[in-house]
């Protein structure tokens, strides 16, 4: 496999994990494994800048933005923090910091990494004016009314100026457990862990419900208009003086040895803390030095997180069951004797695939060690062989689908085992869930429970049939009142207004994530043209390699899929991308643009769409044929190469003038 193929493979895998985490809320790997994929991609792109793509996962920050709340742009971006997992990586951070600053006079403020939700508070004249989530780092959601209900956040404080304060919203473990007990007593689903409960609470539409949730806040960042402290340590003291809750577990360290001593002490103390932590945050204490270090496209250079090892526990593996995904992949799941681990009770754990079970020789009845990978996904680490019962026998993987009984197929090129019956009820439910998800057709209110009700009541076997449901069928859906029925019909109509990119993504083509769907939509501008494209045409497109091309061809050559698509056409789904009216066509026509860095007010995808709409081309690497480089903050090596080649470099303001704005 050559470098370009590996880069494409990494991008596809990371996008798939992003989709599972942010859209489905069903992460399939832990934080550390995800970070390793991202680091490999970053390293390969750094070595081969000509292969960097504007929509590479390395160019974005994770997002929690939904459509329920107004969006607000952060005055100072809330960038993500790079992770470290070993003493060696912390030592590398310390060494690199000293080298970049050319100084040994450095201190680090070390704080706990609370497992909560980042929140920015804005005060005007000492009064809380707005509260904004991190979002994608550049734009977040205004959840002010909900945040006013959190009693540890002052609505007013003594300082009469304007400032911004950032911190973490979280739940204490004991309060979380009590809340879950109440939910279960009321026949409501318990939350998986405090972080999920916190995130869900901030997104509730009724502040009264938020007020009933045990939310708390730790402040850790301060920005004042005047009289700003010179160090992070002093800023924390100032926050406490203002009346904000500040975590007392922190240390001022001179070197990596002192940092690791603090980290080791907190890891040992971790299980005794009243809240979840997953590591420590190490910040260059001096704000002047912090600013001098600057930032990469994703992370400030003056701060890293040191992540603790995942907590482990022993329990009994009582059974192995199987789940069927939307593409037919059959995944084994361990049923465990419930055990409390890292803030929640675990009774299920992923076993990944048949090869993993065989490699670890996992058997029903075994005593197993489990951990939360990255404190998110429970997984079986190993079998305690010495505790295995005498009559234990090796586990035999199933040969037929556990839902529909179809014989399973083993793909020689993958570890996956698949059910190839497209009408399998489990696949139907997952495909409809994907079709209705936020990044796809965004059919509000169509979650797993409602999809199950619709399928069991109406017998539909594909997502296109949603649009064919009669009033009588909708009226018969169990427990739906008049408002639910009206909202469902309205949501279906609204879904017809989505973009072509969302429509392509919603079809569930293997290996085609949201980013690839946008690329396909902007290239073909029509689903019919995409369906008619051959392999050569597909492989010529940036970010669409041979694997993705094969998936697209296979999908559209399937007769059942084409029938579903024709049914969607009848109901008015968006088969065409609306072409904007060309503006200043002569300025952009046949001109080649490279985009790099973070633009002040628009995303690179928006800029790229504007260029293509006016007849220009967007390419991923700088060469002698490049006409313009549109550069934002932290532009990287592309900016340097453009300067060396004498290529025109423009900023966003100049770009707007070219657009005629």
Query: What is the Cα gyration radius of the chain?
Result: 26
Distance, CA of 465 to CA of 441 (rounded, Å): 14
**Residue 271 CB neighbours (<10 A):** 9
Catalytic residue among 39, 113, 372, 453: 113
Nearest to 75 by CA among 149, 162, 169: 162
Distance, CA of 423 to CA of 188 (rounded, Å): 31
| Residues whose CB is less than 8 angstroms from the CB of residue 340 and which lie 6 or more positions away in sequence, other chains included | 313, 346
Distance, CA of 648 to CA of 629 (rounded, Å): 6
DSSP code, position 422:
T
| Residues whose CB is less than 8 angstroms from the CB of residue 346 and which lie 6 or more positions away in sequence, other chains included | 313, 315, 336, 338, 339, 340, 370, 372, 378
Distance, CA of 348 to CA of 320 (rounded, Å): 10
H-only helix segments in 189-255? 194-202, 207-211, 232-242
Distance, CA of 58 to CA of 84 (rounded, Å): 17
DSSP string, 159-190: --S-EEEEEEEE--HHHHHHHHHHHHHTT-PP
> Tokens in use for 54?
């504007």
Distance, CA of 369 to CA of 90 (rounded, Å): 28
Q: What is the dihedral of CA 614, 615, 620, 622, to 10 degrees?
A: -100
> Tokens in use for 467?
């649009």
Sign of CA dihedral 469, 474, 478, 480: positive
> Is residue 380 a contact partner of residue 370, using CB atoms and an 8 Å limit?
yes
Distance, CA of 609 to CA of 140 (rounded, Å): 22
Distance, CA of 538 to CA of 552 (rounded, Å): 9
Composition of the chain by helix, strand, coil, percent to 5: 40, 20, 40
* C-alpha of 425 from chain center: 28
Distance, CA of 568 to CA of 494 (rounded, Å): 14
Residue for token digits 């017998």? 459
User: What CA–CA distances, in Å, run from 374 to 117, 312, 340, 602?
Assistant: 16, 11, 16, 33
Q: Which helix H or strand E contains 619, and what residues bound it?
A: none
DSSP string, 271-322: GGSSS-EEEEEEEESBHHHHHHH-B-SSSBTTEEEEEPPPPEEEEEEEEEEE
- Decide: helix, strand or coil at residue 259: helix
Distance, CA of 44 to CA of 60 (rounded, Å): 17
Exposure class string for 552-563: b at 16+ Cβ within 10 A, else e:
bbebbeeeebee
* C-alpha of 113 from chain center: 19
Nearest to 214 by CA among 277, 151, 274: 151
> Tokens in use for 466?
């949603």
To the query of whether residue 113 is one of the catalytic residues in this protein, the response is yes
Distance, CA of 435 to CA of 508 (rounded, Å): 7
Task: List the catalytic residues.
Answer: 113
């Amino acid at each position: 496999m050559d470098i370009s193929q590996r880069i494409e493979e990494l991008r596809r895998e990371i996008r798939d994990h992003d989709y599972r985490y942010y859209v489905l809320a069903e992460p399939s790997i832990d934080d550390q494994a995800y970070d390793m994929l991202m680091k490999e991609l970053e390293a390969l792109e750094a070595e081969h800048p000509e292969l960097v793509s504007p929509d590479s996962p390395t160019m974005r920050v994770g997002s929690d933005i939904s459509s329920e709340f107004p969006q607000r742009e952060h005055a100072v971006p809330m960038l993500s923090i790079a992770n470290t997992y070993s003493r060696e990586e912390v030592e590398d951070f310390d060494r690199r910091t000293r080298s970049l600053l050319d100084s040994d006079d450095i201190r680090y403020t070390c704080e706990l990494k609370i497992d909560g939700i980042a929140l920015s508070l804005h005060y005007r004249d000492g009064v809380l004016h707005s509260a904004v989530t991190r979002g994608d780092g550049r734009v977040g959601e205004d959840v002010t009314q909900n945040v006013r209900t959190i009693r540890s956040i002052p609505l007013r404080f003594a300082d009469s100026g304007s400032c911004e304060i950032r911190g973490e919203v979280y739940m204490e473990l004991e309060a979380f457990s009590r809340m879950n007990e109440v939910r279960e007593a009321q026949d409501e689903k318990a939350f998986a862990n405090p972080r999920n409960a916190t995130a869900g609470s901030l997104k509730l539409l009724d502040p009264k419900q938020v007020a009933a949730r045990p939310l708390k806040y730790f402040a850790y960042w301060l920005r004042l208009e005047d009289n700003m402290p010179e160090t992070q340590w002093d800023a924390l003291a100032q926050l406490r003086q203002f009346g904000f809750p500040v975590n007392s577990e922190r240390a001022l360290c001179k070197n990596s040895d002192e940092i690791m001593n603090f980290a080791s002490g907190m890891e040992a103390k971790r299980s005794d803390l009243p809240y979840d932590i997953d590591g420590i945050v190490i910040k260059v204490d001096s704000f002047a030095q912090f600013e001098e270090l600057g930032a990469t496209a994703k992370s400030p250079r003056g701060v890293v997180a040191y992540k603790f090892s995942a907590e482990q526990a022993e329990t009994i593996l009582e059974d192995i069951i199987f789940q069927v995904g939307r593409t037919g992949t059959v995944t084994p799941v361990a049923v465990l004797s419930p055990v409390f681990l890292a803030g929640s009770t675990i009774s299920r754990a992923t076993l990944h695939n048949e090869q993993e079970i065989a490699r670890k020789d996992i058997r029903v009845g075994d005593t197993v060690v489990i951990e939360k990978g990255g404190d998110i996904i429970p997984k079986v680490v190993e079998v305690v062989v010495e505790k295995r019962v005498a009559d234990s026998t090796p586990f035999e993987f199933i040969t037929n689908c556990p839902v529909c009984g179809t014989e399973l197929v083993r793909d020689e090129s993958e570890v996956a085992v698949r059910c190839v019956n497209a009408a399998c009820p489990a696949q139907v439910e997952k495909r409809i869930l994907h079709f209705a998800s936020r990044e796809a057709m965004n059919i509000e209110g169509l979650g797993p429970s409602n999809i199950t009700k619709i399928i069991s009541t109406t017998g539909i076997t594909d997502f296109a049939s949603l649009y064919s449901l009669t009033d009588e069928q909708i009226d018969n859906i169990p427990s739906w009142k008049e408002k639910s029925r009206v909202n469902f019909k309205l949501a279906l109509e609204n879904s017809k207004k989505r973009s072509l990119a969302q429509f392509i993504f919603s079809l569930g083509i293997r290996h085609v994530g949201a980013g690839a769907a946008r690329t396909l939509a902007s290239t073909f501008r029509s689903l019919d043209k995409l369906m008619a494209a051959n392999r050569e045409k597909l492989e010529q497109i940036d970010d669409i390699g041979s694997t993705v091309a094969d998936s697209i061809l296979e999908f559209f050559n399937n007769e059942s899929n084409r029938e579903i698509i024709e049914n969607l056409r009848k109901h008015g789904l968006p088969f065409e991308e609306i072409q904007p009216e060309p503006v200043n066509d002569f300025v952009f026509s046949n001109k080649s643009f490279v985009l790099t860095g973070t633009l002040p007010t628009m995303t690179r995808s928006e800029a790229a769409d504007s260029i293509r709409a006016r007849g220009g081309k967007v390419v991923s690497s700088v060469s002698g044929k490049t006409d313009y480089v549109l550069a934002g903050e932290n532009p990287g090596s592309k900016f340097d190469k453009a300067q060396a080649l004498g290529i025109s470099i423009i900023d966003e303001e100049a770009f707007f003038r070219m657009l005629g704005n």
